[in-house]
Amino acid sequence: MHILLPPSETKRSGGGSVFSAESLAHGGALHATRIRVRDALVTLSGDAEAAAKPLKLGVKNQDERLHNLELDTSGAMPAIERYTGVLYDALDAATLDEGARAWLAAHVSVQSALFGLIRADDLIPAYRLSGSSRLPALSTTLKRAWSDAHDAITWAELGWVLDLRSKDYVALAPLPAGVGSWLNVVQRGPDGAVRALNHFNKAAKGDLVRRLAISGAEVSTPTEFVDWATAEGLEVEGDPETAELVLVTELG
């Protein structure tokens, strides 16, 4: 299986490695677009006033714009550690042992607005850009630029895909039909009814990926995923042969 995660707007600073765009996953398909998006982002980020709205900068995070001007010098760290926020806090990759970290490296990718699809262990710098941002110098939307580029990826080589991305990031690289399943997360209330989650949707997804990594799950089909989840005491609903599965959680 292969899991697709959304990124997070919040990121750790620093890093002990040097960033190299050429080392990122799927370079043959995505490198040219990575350079185009990066150049457009750097151009925008050079003007604090012009960048404020597209980069969703407020009074408290104005300095994050500067990360975009220091991509080659600010340091790099694995993507799974770079991102913070609810999902990544629940996943807490830094506390996993070597075996679980190896599982993440082999089975998890992140859909970045700046870099496209990257592996969990790809070394990236801190940056500020979301999937819904508009980069004037790009001459098209991020959605169009990235969806066209990702068409060149041979998705089937990843195996069965479990898509945990939010819809803004699904739009950057839509999965071809039959490649995988999108996971919806809901909460069951005291009355037995289920309702959609917002904040805790992310926590449930992070917890799920952590459980998969710790268990070293060997899953290659939707049915095997449902069987694994059941054995873990998780409730997953839906027809395993459809394009959507539902995780029912008590987090909240």
Q: Give the model confidence (pLDDT) of 130-171 as tens digits.
A: 999 999 999 999 999 999 999 999 999 999 999 999 989 999
- The encoded tokens of residue 95 equal 């506390």
Is the pLDDT confidence value at 196 over 90? Answer: no
The residue assigned the tokens 């990759």 is 93
- pLDDT score of 191 more than 90: no
Pairing of strands 244-249, 180-188: parallel
Round to whole Å and give the CA distance between 6 and 10. Answer: 12
Helix (H, G, I), strand (E, B) or coil at 94: helix
Backbone φ and ψ for 198, nearest 5 degrees, come out as -110, -85
For residue 201 the two structure tokens come to 């949707």
d(CA 15, CA 50): 28
3-state helix, strand, coil in the chain (%, to 5): 40, 20, 40
With beta carbons less than 8 A apart as the criterion, state whether 29 and 149 touch. Answer: yes
Question: For position 100, what pLDDT does the model report?
Answer: 98
Of the listed ranges 1-5, 177-181, 190-194, 217-221, the least confidently predicted one is 190-194
What is the domain extent for residue 223? 2-249
Q: With both helix axes pointing from N to C terminus, report the angle between 142-150 and 27-45 in degrees, rounded to the nearest 10.
A: 160
Cβ atoms 245, 183 nearer than 8 A: yes
- Residues with Cβ < 8 Å from 125, sequence gap 6 or more? 15, 19, 67, 70, 71, 72, 74, 75, 76, 82
Using the predicted structure, report yes or no on whether residue 251 has a pLDDT greater than 60: no
Pairwise CA distance, residues 171 & 37, whole Å = 16
Q: How many CB atoms lie within 10 A of CB 63?
A: 10
Q: Taking residues 64-91, what's their average pLDDT?
A: 96
Q: How confident is the model at residue 117 (pLDDT cuts 50, 70, 90)?
A: very high
Measured between alpha carbons, how far is residue 217 from residues 83, 208, 225 in Å? 23, 11, 9
pLDDT value at residue 68: 97
- Structure pTM? 0.94
Amino acid at position 110, single letter = V
Domain total in the chain = 1
CB 199 within 8 A of CB 180: no
- Concatenate the DSSP letters of all residues of 21-43 into one string: GGGSTTHHHHHHHHHHHHHHHHH
Q: pLDDT at position 237, please?
A: 85
**Backbone torsion region of residue 78, taken as left when φ is above 0, otherwise alpha when ψ lies between -120 and 50, otherwise beta:** beta
